[in-house]
Amino acid sequence: MRKKTIIISVLVAVAVIVVIFSALFFLPREDLEWRVPRNKIAIIEIKGEITEDYEGGANPGAIRKLLDRAEEDEQIKAIVLRINSGGGDAGASWDLYRAVKRVEKPVVASIGDAGASGAYLVAVATDEIIATPMSVVGSIGASMEFPFDVPINASKEAEEISSMPSGEFKDVFADYRLNESERGYLKERLENVVDVFSKCVAENRNMSDEDITKVSHGGWFTGEEGLHLGLVDKIGDLDDAMEEAAKLANISLEDAKVVTLRIEDSKVRVEET
């Protein structure tokens, strides 16, 4: 009798399981979303000037929050960085470059109108770079803005002396002129920044010293030119970038949900696309 009861219980359990799976099979996909976790691809936008200023531009701290959220969400399998920026502060661009490098999930850069200077540095930290034929890419270089108008003639006498330095270059911005020695010193500082920038590009893009020399003059290129120079992997738009991100994550874009991560009131907001 006990054996018969056990057999009946097993049969009932099997029947219940069959009914449940049959019901799930015939339900529309939208009704299943709450039951079956779906893979996601996250879009993170990098727009405007890359700066530490939280009030505008692409702030590295804010972007790091978004990257961390994407890393923590197990359903997010890949990230697309939608870049539309002409660069920004050297230090902020470097911080953002390192933040992207630390991401363990696949990351694809989708360059819109521009991904130049510091924004291109961020792009080379990703697994693939996709740009439109008309995108502005590259601009591998550095520039310095002075806190005063610098005379073209380096030998012009200072108009105002406001400090006493401990060394030749300690008060380089303390007066209203730059002599030849100071100009040479500042140029050397810029060259060191460009050297770091160029090494990052060479390492991540597998480019030779000769190839880097051709593109590190500070000028920009179109996405089409960048493709031939090795600065870009493929020509395409945001949809193409999402498709590539799905491939890198070994998931189907058709079955994945696309979400956009944004910072709002210091908190991460997830928007379904």
Q: Say if residue 222 is in the same domain as residue 204.
A: yes
- 3-state SS, residue 273: coil
- pLDDT, tens only, 28-41: 555 444 545 589 99
Query: How many separate domains does the chain show?
Result: 2
Count the alpha carbons within 13 Å of 110 in the hemisphere toward its beta carbon. Answer: 18
- The answer for residues whose C-beta is within 8 angstroms of residue 49's C-beta and 6 or more apart is 56, 57, 58, 85, 86, 87, 88, 89
Q: Say if residue 71 is in the same domain as residue 195.
A: yes
Q: Say if residue 108 is in the same domain as residue 8.
A: no
Q: Say if residue 65 is in the same domain as residue 112.
A: yes
| C-alpha–C-alpha distance, residues 255 and 215, integer Å | 40
Q: Say if residue 26 is in the same domain as residue 47.
A: no
Domain that holds residue 19: 2-31
Q: Say if residue 142 is in the same domain as residue 7.
A: no
| C-alpha–C-alpha distance, residues 97 and 220, integer Å | 19
Q: Say if residue 150 is in the same domain as residue 227.
A: yes
Q: Say if residue 147 is in the same domain as residue 19.
A: no
Helix 180-205 × helix 90-101 angle, to 10° = 20
Handedness of CA 182, 187, 192, 197 (dihedral sign): positive
Measured from the Cβ of residue 152, the count of other Cβ atoms closer than 10 Å reads 5
* CATH number for position 243: 3.90.226.10
- pLDDT, tens only, 115-166: 999 999 999 999 999 999 999 999 998 877 766 666 656 565 555 555 455 5
